[in-house]
């Protein structure tokens, strides 16, 4: 795992200096504290920060081909590099390292721009073809690893993180369209970043920059063909376990020890169970808990670890400990992200890094195997909408008066979200069940100039194009919802959160449920094996039930969600009031302090559960202060 950056001054052929590259590289030191490397030739230059995982002695980047006409830097891991290396040697290629990086230059020599189709891994790649004078930037199929770029007066700059681009002089002018999207989703949908001049390369995309211009194409997308294959539950479970066993053996190739993030959740418990029982892997496990019982699953996690004979390293978060680190945690996000599970992810990464450099994570199971309640909630909504409108209005009025509870996903909270979202078609309801601020709330929150052109559906556009594509392919509603989340939420929220918080601690996280083989397997599983009635992730639960009791295999979904709603009323109250004070908001010209105060007051009094809204505003104000107004 590493950090990469570079420049190609194709517009004016200005030479790239080492000092300029070091300036960018220094901003990425946390991503790669072990070593650094540079490549410079005339108007092109690469910088690299290394976290040594594979080929500790000769694997430093940049890496080149035999005649040094092709150079590459990349962040990530290529899991099938051993198999690819053997094939390439048979085809006459020579290697001077044992690293997975060197595979890339030879694949490019052999297959040209078709080479990404041969890769199985997580990666952000920059490749320079000196013969053609082309720069190629590409990001893995799912978006596990980040890659940002900016067009400048000289040409193009790229980096693993935005902060390196800003350090290189890219304008920090905010993108108000992106901020509008953030206030809806809680994240910036790719390719938006919050800065007018900076874009995220979309997952599965390849950008080619020549001496004239650049163009971006999609080299991979999820196969949306409907599965008609009917296998029994046991046959599918056998196949899933066998596939995941192969994936784990491939993804645990490393020259350093590997651990695992463990919870009582379906995904991590299943991965840990197969690793222990079918791969004979003795992984150090790392977990996080809370004093608040409705949020903490530490007791169940201990049961999982005990059944697998895993060494479990625990941290129980206290508000005082969080308070000392919270500003630092938020500052690592150079594009705003609302997801407050960033807090436990940071601390469990810090805990893991004290023992290992690499861990296994559980992201991806929800989007591929039907893990969210919204995937069946639309069916309940269809029944609910048969109730006359006047009665539904009365029900919603009653629900909105229910007293709030700050326990995890409380019944009043879920009822309020449900009765709000059911008034819309299924595709818009999927967005509105999760929305932070809708158009009406934004009119109260934001300045007149900001909201002047905001339409009620503008913030739905990021999801809308993927709904349209899935609808044209004849996908069921459930498959449409999963595809939309796979293409939007997955890369821009959980994967970004995990990358930022793990790399803040110089830790690599591998995600076996997003391996090519598991993605391909998921497309062969029929819908009724993913969601059975109102049971989410049915197939994964059936597989887990072979290793763990039903209390865990068929238990409620929790994840690492922290009790922020309670913390904001107690240990983080002063931090909240300071972050969103009138003085702080005076530096953010588009926010209305009176409405922000109203949101805070409702939360503190118990009138409303506004923790998501408050946290989103804290993150936004902090980002604006750290990266825009400086």
- What pairing do the DSSP bridges indicate for beta strands 312-317 and 284-290? parallel
127 and 185 part of one domain: yes
The verdict on residue 502 lying in a domain is: yes
587 and 629 part of one domain: yes
542 and 626 part of one domain: no
pTM: 0.94
* Element at 125 (helix H, strand E): strand 121-129
204 and 314 part of one domain: no
Q: Are 73 and 126 in contact (CB under 8 A)?
A: yes
C-alpha span between 206 and 209 (Å, rounded): 10
**What's the number of domains the chain is made of?**
3
- What pairing do the DSSP bridges indicate for beta strands 358-360 and 258-261? parallel
* Average pLDDT for runs of 10 along the chain of length 630: 90 95 93 86 93 57 93 95 95 92 96 96 97 96 97 96 97 92 94 96 97 90 81 94 96 84 93 93 91 82 94 91 92 95 96 94 95 89 86 84 69 78 84 86 88 62 89 93 96 97 94 97 93 94 96 78 91 95 93 96 91 97 92
33 and 13 part of one domain: yes
591 and 544 part of one domain: no
Q: Report helix, strand or coil for 223.
A: coil
Could you give the angle at the alpha carbon of 137 between the alpha carbons of 135 and 142, nearest 5°?
165
pLDDT (0 to 100) of residue 61: 82
C-alpha span between 338 and 183 (Å, rounded): 9
The verdict on residue 409 lying in a domain is: no
**Cα 85 versus chain centre, distance:** 30
Q: Are 126 and 6 in contact (CB under 8 A)?
A: yes
The verdict on residue 454 lying in a domain is: no
Q: Report helix, strand or coil for 359.
A: strand
The verdict on residue 25 lying in a domain is: yes
From 553, 579, 607, the end of a domain falls on: 553
254 and 288 part of one domain: yes
State the CB neighbour count (10 A cutoff) for residue 410: 17
Structural domain for 117, as ranges? 2-218
Q: Are 344 and 562 in contact (CB under 8 A)?
A: yes
Sign of CA dihedral 174, 180, 186, 192: negative
251 and 320 part of one domain: yes
From 160, 192, 218, the end of a domain falls on: 218
The token pair that represents 258 in the structure block: 């590997």
C-alpha span between 335 and 194 (Å, rounded): 6
The CATH code of the domain that includes 358 is 3.40.50.620
The token pair that represents 50 in the structure block: 């290394």
**Residue 2 is among the residues annotated as catalytic for this protein:** yes
153 and 302 part of one domain: no
C-alpha span between 257 and 279 (Å, rounded): 15
- 3-class SS shares of the chain: helix, strand, coil, % to 5: 45, 15, 40
533 and 574 part of one domain: no
Length of the chain: 630
C-alpha span between 459 and 457 (Å, rounded): 6
The token pair that represents 387 in the structure block: 């109730």
The verdict on residue 260 lying in a domain is: yes
C-alpha span between 168 and 6 (Å, rounded): 10
70 and 170 part of one domain: yes
State the CB neighbour count (10 A cutoff) for residue 431: 23
C-alpha span between 402 and 414 (Å, rounded): 11
The verdict on residue 433 lying in a domain is: no
The token pair that represents 22 in the structure block: 């070091």
E-only strand ranges, 291-339: 312-317
109 and 251 part of one domain: no
pLDDT (0 to 100) of residue 588: 93
**CA distance readout (Å), 266 to 250, 381, 501, 543, 559:** 21, 26, 22, 9, 9
State the CB neighbour count (10 A cutoff) for residue 12: 9
- Smallest Cα–Cα separation from 240: which of 593, 425, 508, 513? 513
Beta bridge partners of 35: 50
* Element at 543 (helix H, strand E): helix 538-544
* Element at 150 (helix H, strand E): strand 148-151
Beta bridge partners of 315: 288
Beta bridge partners of 484: none
Beta bridge partners of 325: none
From 218, 249, 272, the end of a domain falls on: 218
DSSP letter (8 states) at residue 310: -
DSSP letter (8 states) at residue 30: G
Active-site residue among 2, 209, 227, 279?
A: 2
C-alpha span between 341 and 562 (Å, rounded): 6
């Amino acid at each position: 795992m590493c950090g990469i950056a570079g420049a190609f001054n194709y517009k004016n052929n200005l030479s790239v200096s080492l000092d300029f590259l070091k300036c960018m590289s220094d901003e990425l030191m946390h991503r790669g504290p072990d070593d650094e490397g540079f490549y410079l030739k005339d108007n092109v230059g690469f910088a690299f920060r290394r976290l040594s995982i594979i080929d500790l002695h000769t694997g430093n980047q940049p890496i080149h081909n035999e005649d040094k006409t092709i150079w590459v830097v990349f962040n990530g891991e290529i899991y099938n590099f051993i198999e690819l290396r053997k094939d390439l040697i048979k085809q006459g290629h020579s290697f001077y390292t044992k690293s997975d990086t060197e595979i890339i230059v030879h694949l490019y020599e052999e297959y040209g721009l078709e080479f990404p189709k041969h890769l199985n891994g997580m990666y952000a790649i920059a490749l320079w073809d000196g013969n053609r004078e082309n720069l190629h930037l590409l990001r893995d199929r799912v978006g596990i690893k980040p890659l940002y770029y900016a067009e400048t007066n000289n040409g193009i700059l790229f980096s693993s993180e935005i902060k390196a681009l800003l350090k290189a002089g890219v304008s920090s002018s905010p993108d108000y369209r992106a901020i509008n999207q953030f206030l809806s989703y809680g994240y910036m949908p790719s390719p938006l970043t919050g800065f007018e001049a900076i874009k995220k390369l979309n997952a599965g995309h390849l950008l080619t920059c020549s001496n004239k211009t650049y163009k971006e194409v999609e080299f991979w997308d999820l196969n949306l063909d409907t599965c008609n294959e009917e296998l029994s539950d046991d046959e599918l479970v056998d196949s899933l376990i066998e596939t995941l066993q192969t994936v784990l053996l491939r993804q645990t190739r490393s020259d350093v020890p590997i651990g695992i993030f463990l919870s009582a959740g379906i995904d991590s418990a299943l991965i840990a169970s197969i690793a222990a029982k079918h791969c004979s892997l003795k992984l150090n496990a790392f977990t996080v808990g809370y004093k608040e019982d409705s949020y903490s699953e530490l007791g169940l996690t201990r049961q999982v670890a005990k059944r697998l004979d895993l060494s479990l390293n625990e941290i129980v978060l206290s508000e005082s400990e969080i308070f000392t680190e919270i500003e630092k945690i938020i500052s690592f996000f150079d594009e705003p992200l609302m997801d407050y599970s960033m807090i436990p992810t940071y601390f469990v990464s810090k805990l893991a890094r004290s023992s290992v450099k690499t861990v296994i994570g559980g992201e991806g199971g929800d989007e591929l195997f039907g893990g969210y309640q919204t995937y069946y909630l639309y069916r309940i909504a269809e029944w609910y909408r048969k109730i006359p409108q006047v009665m539904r209005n009365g029900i919603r009025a009653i629900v909105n008066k229910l007293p709030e509870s700050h326990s995890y996903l409380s019944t009043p909270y879920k009822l309020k979200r449900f009765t709000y979202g059911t008034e819309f078609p299924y595709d818009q309801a999927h967005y509105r069940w999760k929305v932070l601020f809708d158009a009406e709330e934004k009119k109260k929150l934001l300045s007149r100039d900001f909201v002047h052109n905001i339409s009620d559906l503008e913030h739905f556009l990021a999801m809308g194009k993927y709904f349209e594509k899935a609808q044209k392919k004849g996908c069921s509603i459930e498959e449409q919802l999963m595809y939309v989340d796979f293409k939007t939420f997955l890369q821009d929220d959980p994967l970004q959160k995990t990358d930022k918080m793990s790399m803040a601690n110089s830790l690599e996280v591998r995600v076996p449920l997003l391996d090519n083989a598991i993605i391909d397997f998921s497309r062969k599983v029929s819908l009724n094996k993913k969601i059975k009635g109102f049971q989410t992730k049915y197939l994964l639960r059936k597989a887990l039930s072979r290793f763990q009791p039903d209390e865990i295999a068929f238990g409620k979904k929790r994840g690492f969600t922290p009790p922020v709603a309670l913390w904001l009323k107690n240990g983080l109250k002063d931090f909240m009031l300071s972050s969103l004070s009138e003085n702080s908001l005076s530096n953010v010209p588009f926010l209305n302090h009176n409405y922000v105060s109203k949101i805070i007051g409702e939360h503190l009094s118990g009138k409303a559960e506004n923790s998501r809204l408050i946290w989103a505003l804290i993150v936004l104000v902090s980002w604006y202060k750290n990266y825009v107004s400086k």
